[in-house]
Chains A and B, each alone.
Chain A
Amino acid sequence: MRLLHQKELVLPMLPDKELEAGEEASELAAEASMDADRVDELRLAVQEAFINASEHSGASDGRVYVNLALLGGERPELVQVTVRDTGVGFPEPVLRGTMRNEEGRPRKRGWGLTLIRRLVDEVEIESGTHGTVVVMRKKI
C-alpha cells in the first residue's frame, strides 16, 4: 500500500478545535468514498483522540499535530489519522480504557480511548514522557 495523499494540521488546544480535526478527517474519508456511517465513526474517533491530547497531555506548546493520510494501490483503501502531542504521556487509567473507575463503580469519564478502539479498525498508541502518538486506521 502506498501513500496517495496526505495533509498535516497543527491545531491549538482550544475548546471545539477537535471539531476541525474531525471535519478534516471526515472530508478526506468521504472524498475516498467511505460509507457515510463509517465516516461519522472516524470523525468521532479523531475528535476523541484530539480531546485526549488537549486534556491529558499537558503539552507546553499547547498544540496538537494531526496527520491525515490516504493509503492504497490503484484505489484508496485506507484512511490513517495520526494525532500527536508533545506532552507528558497519558496516565495509565486513560490508556487502559477500563469500564470501571478506581472505586469499582461504572466509569463516567475517560471513555476516549475505549471509543477510539471500537470506532476504527486499527489503533496504535505510543505514550511516554516525550508525548503521545495515536494512529488510527479505518478501511474504506
Chain B
Amino acid sequence: MTESLKVRVDRRDGLAVVITEGYINNQGGEQIAQAANGLIEEGYRTLLLNLAGSKIVNSIGISILIEVLERVLELKGKLAFCNLTPTIQKTFHIMGLTQYAQVYPDEPTAVAELVAPASPPSGVPNSGS
C-alpha cells in the first residue's frame, strides 16, 4: 500500500496556498518543501498549507514542515495551516508547530485573516500578472 502526495499551488495577491492530497511522509514532506521553497524564491512570504486532502501524516513528514517553517520565519514571513484533522492538529501541537504557525479551520477563514491586516509584501506578484 503506497500513497504518493499530490501538491497543487494556488497563487493569490500576497499569499500562496499549497494544497496537498495524500500521505505526508518523508517524500511528501520533501514535495511540500520543494513547492514552498519555489514560492519563497518567487517572492512569496505568506504561505498557507491546506491539508484538507491529507488525513494521514507521520513525524518525519512533519519534521520537514518544521524546516519549511524555520525558513519562512527567518525571512520574516508567515506559514499557516488549515483544514487539519484533530489528530494532525494535536500532533502539530506536540511537535511545537502551533507555537509559530497559525492554524485555521478552513481556507476562506485563513485567507481572510492572512491577507487582510497588512499591505502585500514587496516582490510578490499580483494574481493575473
Contacts and interface: CB of A to CB of B under 8 A. Distances in A.
A118 B1 contact: no
Give the bracket for the number of chain B residues in contact with chain A.
Answer: 20 to 34
B2 A16 contact: yes
A41 B87 CA distance: 6
Contacts of B94: 111, 114-115, 118
Contacts, number: 65
Contact of B23 (A16, A17, A106, A108): A16
Contacts of A16: 1-3, 23, 25
Contacts of B59: 48, 51, 109, 111-112, 115
B4 to A, nearest CB: 9
Give the bracket for the number of chain A residues in contact with chain B.
Answer: 20 to 34
Given A40-B86, A40-B87, A111-B95, A48 B63 contact: no
B64 to A, nearest CB: 8
A109 B91 contact: no
Nearest to A99: B96
12 contacts: A16-B3, A17-B1, A19-B1, A20-B1, A23-B1, A43-B56, A44-B58, A47-B58, A109-B59, A111-B95, A115-B91, A118-B94
Interface of B: 1-3, 23, 25, 55-60, 62-63, 66-67, 85-87, 90-91, 94-96
Interface of A: 15-20, 22-23, 37, 40-41, 43-44, 47-48, 51, 99, 106, 108-109, 111-112, 114-115, 118-119
List the 8 closest pairs (A to B, CB-CB), nearest first. Answer: A111-B59, A40-B87, A16-B2, A108-B63, A37-B86, A19-B1, A118-B94, A41-B87
